[in-house]
Each structure stands twice: as C-alpha cells, then as structure tokens.
A and B are shown apart, each in its own frame.
Chain A
Amino acid sequence: MNVLETRDLCMTYGIKTPFEKTALDHVSVGFEKGDLVGIIGHTGSGKSTLVQQLNGLLRPTAGQVLLDGTDIWAEPKAIRQVRFRVGMVFQYPEHQLFEETCYKDIAFGPKNMGLSDEEIDARVRQAAAYVGLQPTLLDKSPFDLSGGEKRRVAIAGVMAMQPEVLILDEPTAGLDPKGRDTILDQIRAYRDENHSTVLLVSHSMEDVARTADKVLVMDHGRVAMYDTTETVFSHADTLGELGLAVPAVTRVFMGLRARGIPVGENAYTVEQAAEALLPHLRKGGDR
C-alpha cells in the first residue's frame, strides 16, 4: 500500500506568459511505507518541483497527490497538517536556523504542531540522537557550530516532527567525504528504526547507489525510470543518454564486459564489485 502517490501530476510555471514551462508532465509514482528512494535527474528535470508538490508547497496545475489515499488539496486549509506528515529538508538547510539554541531550533517544528512540552522534549532529544548530536551541543547557539553540525541540527529539526515521509534535497551538498558518509548512514538508520518512508534527492550517483533501495529517474518532467537500485543502474546506457553519470565502479564493469570478460551482473557499489570479482580473480591466485 502506497503511503504517498501521485496521479497524473502536472505542473506548469508561468501559464500564458512567454516564460511558460512544463516542470511536471503526467507523473504517476507511488512510495511505500519504509521505502528509501533516491530521486535523480539533472538540473531542470523536475525533481525539485516533484518533491515540493509532495508536501504541498506547490499546488499542482492538474492531477493529484495522495497521502494515504486522500488528495492533499481536498481541504486546502489543512495543508499545514500535510506538511507535518510529509517533512522536507531543503538544500543547505543550515541556512534556515534562527533560534538562540539548537534545542529551541529543533523544537520549532514540534511546537508548531501543538505538542505537549514533555512530548517536544522527548522528540528533540530523540532527533538529536538520530543525527549524532552531542546533548551538550543542544544548549549552544546554532551559529557557533561547524558547518556539518549545523546541517545535522537542521535535519534533526525536521526529523523531530516524526513525519511519515521524510524528503531530503541534496543533504550532502558541500560536505567533505566524512561528513557525507555520516549523514547518509544516519538517514539509513533513521529509516530502519522508524520504518518511515525516505526520499533522497541527489546529484551524486555514488550516494544514491549506496543508500537507496529504489531509484526514481526524472527527465524533462517525466518519470524516465523507477525501479530497484540494481535494475536502474544496470541501464547505464539509458542513464548516460539522460545526461547522468553512472558510478565509476559500474563503468569499470561495463569496460570489462566490453572487453568480452563475462563479469555477470552489474555492480554499483565498491563492496558489491569486489564481491562479484573476487571468486574469479582468486582462482588465479590459488592455481
């Protein structure tokens, strides 16, 4: 059963002006409970528009967004409730921090939901734990933290609302390898613990390959592919045609196959690739 789905979702910007632009063109996709979906596509493919539709920041020009089977715009006044259930972490979320302490900033969302003080406290501490934030940091000003820590405070601010669907737009942009790995691991752990649905918008094929179970590929406002990570990355040629680069290890496998070496199925993470190659290469070592 889909938690969130779209039916023939269309979005056109600047209707009846010379700048008219179709950003979404009859998009119908569904996300199940507990899914961790990577959303990829080059800039302008419609992926940002899609996720902003999913939590009601933008209103469709045609079609529907269904949350638990109900059109989110059925009751336009209740759109705030939809945003509590479909949380969204924007790109560079640290730029939206504003409170005096990290604690207050993380509590901003839960407070707006009208929760009790005990409930807010529990959620703030839990969310801080999800993103690996030391409890001592909670009383500090968010503006005194390092870049990576700020980002984690901002993500915790949305996690604390315990949305059924959590959308993250480029959560690793601008982070160094260590910061990037930490955040991706935490996102996975959050999903595993909560069984909530997580949508991860990213430019990095490597990040998506490592983190997501399913991949949604957007192109020109349409769904180009939507399948398991394995299947999507096995269509390296199609991805290439869409202007998307496949992970470097996948290209190594493609190169080997082009040379007539029967490497079998595709690999899209280094671990997988090593596992797939080792039995064949070991033989030589043993001989």
Chain B
Amino acid sequence: MELLKAEHLSFQYENPDELPIPVLGDVSLTVAQGDFVAVLGHNGSGKSTLAKHFNAMLLPTGGSVWVGEWNTADEEHVYDVRRTVGMVLQNPDNQLVSTIVEEDVAFGPENLGVEPSEIACRVNEALKLVDMLPYRDHAAHKLSGGQKQRVAIAGVLAMHPDCLVLDEPTAMLDPKGRREVMDTIRRLNRERGMTVVLITHYMEEAAEADRVVVMDDGAIIMDGTPREVFAQVERLRSVQLDVPQPTELCHQLRLAGVPLPADVLTVEDAVEALAAVWEGTV
C-alpha cells in the first residue's frame, strides 16, 4: 500500500525583488508501507527539501504530496500528517526540547493531547525500541551524539507514526554513533515494519536500504535497489557521489578487462567475485 506519494512535485523559494529560486522540479515518487528507502544526493541536490514536503513543513508550489489519504496542502490535516510522518533532523542537540530524556520523549504525545497514562506507556515503549530505557531520567545534554539522536527518534516514535523520515541523522556523529543510529533504524524497519525514508550522502548507509533514490539538481535521476544503483559507478560520479569501496575496486578492475560482475556491493560480494576470478586463473 502506498503511504507517501509525490506527484509532479515542484518547489521554489520566493526571492523578493528577484526571480524565485527553483529547488525541486517535477519530482514523482511513491513509498509503500514497510519500505526502507534511502534518498542519496550531494549537498544542495534538493533531498532535504523533498523530505520536508512529506510532513507538510514545506508545501509544494506545483504538483501535490499525499500522505495516505491526506493531501499535505490541506490545512485541516496538517497535524495528522505530521503525526503520521515523524521527522528526525540532522543536529541532535537542536531537536531535544526538554532537559530530561523522558520528558523530551513525552513532548510529541503531549502536543497531540494524548491521555497522560497513555503517554507514560508510549514513552516507555519508545525508549525501549531505541534501547535508551535505562537513560530515561538522565540529562539530555550529557548523552553522546548517538544517544541523543536515538532519543530524538524515540520522541518521534512516541507519536505512533507510520513512517520515519530522517534528514541526514548521522552527519554529525562519530562512527560509533552512526552505527547505533543505523542499527536502530534498520531494526525498526525489519522488526516493526516501520516505513523509513533516510536522507543521506553516505553511500554505505544507502547500501543498507532496500531501495535507493538518487537526486541531483532537484530531480530524481536514479531509482532502484542498491545493487542496481551502485553498479552505475560513472553516473554516480558525474553527480558528485561516491560508491562503496568494494564496488569501486571491482569497477576499476573491470575497466582493466577483468571479468567481474557489475553489482558488487559489500566486502563479502567482492571477496566472492574476486576469489572466483582468481581461482579461475590459476
């Protein structure tokens, strides 16, 4: 079932006295319930702008965006949309409202007017989902970056969304924090069937998704499984993106005439493929 749908979406920033600045042009994309989609693109490709359309933080200047039955431009349903599509932002410090972890997680449901006893249940459950329950009465500013970001995810989960949109959630974290956040996102998708839209410019993270959408200059230029997308090494390069190192290695060898498959993605893939060729040569 379709959960998110952008139909010929275009968006431009109004610029007083000058021409408006176009950011998105004719973007059409659907995300089904339970999908894990990574949106990949360099800075300024329009990927964050697209993300902000999915929870009505921005409204299209052309075309439309649908969340389930609701058109995001319909003011009456703006809070339904924001509750259904939970958004996690880049800077973990700037999205926690309260000093204490559990009070911060409660912020969303409180805004929704949920019954107090129910809020307490939701906070418990959400903190458990991100593995932060033991920290419930800790001070938020003393946590590590990865922990803060997990609390931010819990804060969104407590609103009981159907979908998580994460806008470069790991960009400011160290490798450990990045791992924690990625593991949490993946677990939510696999075990809870949570629909995930992950905005990123790290190809290793995009490779963990089921589907990769590549954006450049406000348009979608590629859409497919990670294997399909990363096989097009030259094309990704041309839009200022990288490919994972194992893919890159096999690509270079293939250009030099070694018969390797194009869809190598992980270290294991590369070992497998290279071993097969090597063993064939001796």
Direct chain A–B contact by Cβ atoms under 8 Å? yes
Show the binding face of A for B, using Cβ within 8 Å.
42-43, 146-148, 173-179, 203, 206, 243, 245, 247-249, 251-252, 255-256, 259, 261, 270-271, 273-274, 277-278, 280-285, 287
The interface residues of chain A lying within 8 Å CB-to-CB of B58 are none
Are B174 and A43 in contact (CB-based, < 8 A)? yes
B245 touches A259 (CB 8 A): no
Query: Judging by beta carbons under 8 Å apart, are A177 and B241 in contact?
Result: yes
The distance from the CB of B277 to the nearest CB of chain A, in whole angstroms, is: 5
24 A-B residue pairs with CB within 8 Å: A43-B144, A43-B174, A173-B172, A176-B201, A176-B240, A176-B241, A178-B240, A179-B43, A248-B204, A248-B245, A248-B267, A252-B246, A252-B267, A252-B271, A255-B267, A255-B268, A259-B271, A271-B252, A274-B249, A277-B249, A280-B278, A281-B253, A281-B278, A285-B258
Cβ contacts under 8 Å, B175 to chain A: 42, 203, 245
Residues of B within 8 A of A148 (CB): 43
Report the minimal beta-carbon distance from A285 to chain B, rounded to whole angstroms: 5
Q: A161 CB to closest chain B CB, in angstroms?
A: 27
**Taking the nearest CB of chain B, how far is it from the CB of A30, in angstroms?**
27
Contact A261:B275 (CB < 8 A) given known A146-B44, A173-B172: yes
For the complex, count residues of B whose C-beta is within 8 A of A: 38
Inter-subunit contact A282/B246 (CB<8 Å): no
Other-chain contact of A146, B43, B171, B174, B257 (Cβ < 8 Å) = B43
CB of B199 to closest CB in A, whole Å: 12
Write out the residue numbers on chain B whose beta carbons fall within 8 Å of the beta carbon of A251. Answer: 267
Q: How far is the CA of A201 from the CA of B252 in the complex (A)?
A: 29
Min CB–CB distance B133 → chain A (angstroms): 23
Among B171, B241, B253, B268: residue with most chain A CB under 10 A: B253
Most interface-central of A146, A271, A285 (chain B CB within 10 A): A285
* Chain B residues whose CB sits within 8 angstroms of the CB of A280 once the complex forms: 278, 281
- The distance in angstroms between the C-alpha atoms of A263 and B204, with both chains bound, is 25
Minimal Cβ-Cβ distance residue in A for B270: A252
Q: Which residues of A contact B144 (CB under 8 A)?
A: 43
Cα distance A42–B275 when bound, in Å? Answer: 33
In the assembled complex, the CB of B264 is this many whole angstroms from the nearest CB of chain A, namely 10
Which residues of A sit under 8 angstroms from B246, Cβ to Cβ? 248-249, 252
Provide the main secondary structure of the chain B interface.
helix
Is the beta-carbon distance between A256 and B244 smaller than 8 angstroms?
no
Q: Which residues of B contact A (CB under 8 A)?
A: 42-44, 144, 171-172, 174-177, 201, 203-204, 240-242, 244-246, 248-249, 252-253, 256-259, 267-268, 270-271, 274-275, 277-281
Q: Are A261 and B201 in contact (CB under 8 A)?
A: no
Nearest 3 A/B pairs, CB to CB? A284-B281, A255-B271, A178-B240
Distance of A146 Cα from B217 Cα, bound (Å): 15
| Residue numbers in B under 8 Å from A287 (CB-CB) | 281
Q: Are A176's CB and B176's CB within 8 A?
A: no
Chain B residues with CB under 8 A of A173: 171-172
On whether the beta carbons of A281 and B44 are closer than 8 Å, the reply is: no
Q: Write out the residue numbers on chain B whose beta carbons fall within 8 Å of the beta carbon of A274.
A: 249, 252-253, 256
A42 to B201, CA, bound (A): 22
In whole angstroms, what is the CA distance A243 to B244 when docked?
A: 21
Contact across chains for B271 and A256 when beta carbons are under 8 A apart: yes
- CB-based nearest A residue for B42: A176
**Whole-angstrom CA separation of A206 from B245 in the bound complex:** 9
Give the residues in chain A near B203, CB-CB below 8 Å: 177
In whole angstroms, what is the CA distance A197 to B177 when docked?
31
